[in-house]
Amino acid sequence: MRSTLQFGRFNFPWRGERVRARVMGILNVTPDSFSDGGQHQSLEFAISHAEQMILDGVDIIDVGGESSRPGAPPLPLEQELQRVMPVLYALRDIGPAISVDTYKPEVMREAIIAGVDMINDINGFRAPGAIAAVRDSDCGLCIMHMQNDPRHMQLAPSYTDVVAEVTAFLRERIEALTAAGIDPRRLCIDPGFGFGKTVEHNYALLKATAQLIAELDVPLLAGLSRKSMVGAVTGKPVEQRMAGSVGGALAAVAQGALIVRVHDVAETVDALKVWQAGTNLQR
C-alpha cells in the first residue's frame, strides 16, 4: 500500500497517523486569470508574492503562465515559456516545493530541467508527448479531469453520472501513466472543479472526495478556491469568496484530500491548523 507521494525533492505522507494536509499557493503570472490576473505578472512581483506565501506557511507554490478560466484561448508556447521559466528558476531554492501548471510537453521538459517538484496538468497528460516528457523525472504528477477545453468547457457540461465518469477518466489516465513505467507513488488526482462542470456536478464531486481516493488509491488535490461553485452558495463575487473557499478546503481535507490549491494561503493554513488540532486527525 502506497503511503507517500513522491514530489521531486519532497515526500509527502498521505496515510497513517502523521498526515498533514498540504497547502498549495496559486501564483498566476498571467494578465487574465479569473481571480488575480495581472497582479503578479512581473518577476519582481511574482517573487514578492511567493515570499509572502512562504511567510504565511505555504507548502507548495503552483506557478501558472496560461489562464484556464472559462472561455480562455490557448497561449502560444513561447509566451508561456517567457512567463514561467524566469519565475521557476527564481523560486527553485526558495524553500517550499515548486509546481508548474501546464499541459504543454515542451513546458514540462523545460520546467523539469529547472528543477520543479510537480507537473500539474489540467489536460491529464493527454497531449502527444506529455507522458514521454515527464516519464524519466522524479517530479510528482497531478492528473486533472476536464470536460472539453477551457474555451468551451462551461458551455453545456453534461454527464449521466459525474462521479462515475470522472472516476473512470482518472483511472484510465493512471493506468496510462503507470503502463509507461511511471512510479504510481508520483501520481495524484484532481477532479477538476469548475472544468466542464455545473455547480451541481462540482458539489457531487466534492462530496465524493473520500470515494475517489478509496477507489483510485492515490492522493487527491482539491482546487476550488474562489470558483463559481463557492459564489453560487455564498452569493459573493470572486473578490469576496475567501471564507467560502476556506470552508471548501476544509470539506475536502475532512474527506482525505492531501493538497488544497488556494489563493488565500494564510487563512487556509490557520484554518487547517485549528481544524486538525481540534479533530486529532489520523488517517
Helix, coil or strand: residue 13: strand
Which entry of 185, 226, 227, 241 is annotated as an active-site residue? Answer: 227
171 is catalytic: no
Helix, strand, coil share of the chain (percent; to 5): 40, 15, 40
The three cell numbers of residue 158 are 453534461
If we measure between CA atoms, which residue out of 140, 4, 116, 10 comes closest to residue 61? 116
Bridge-based pairing of strands 10-13 and 4-7 is antiparallel
Contact in structure between 101 and 94 (CB atoms under 8 Å): no
Helix, coil or strand: residue 280: coil
Which entry of 22, 197, 241, 261 is annotated as an active-site residue? Answer: 261
Interior CA angle at 222 toward 221 and 224, to 5°?
A: 150
CA distances from 95 to 55, 179, 262 (A): 11, 33, 18
69 is catalytic: no
- Residue 217's CB is within 10 A of a number of other CB atoms, namely 13
Burial class (CB in 10 A: 0-12, 13-18, 19+), 20: middle
- Residue 69 Ramachandran class (φ > 0 left, ψ -120 to 50 alpha, else beta): beta
Helix locations, the chain, DSSP H = 43-55, 77-91, 105-114, 130-135, 162-179, 199-207, 209-216, 228-234, 242-254, 265-279
Handedness of CA 241, 204, 282, 2 (dihedral sign): negative
Catalytic residue ranges = 227, 261
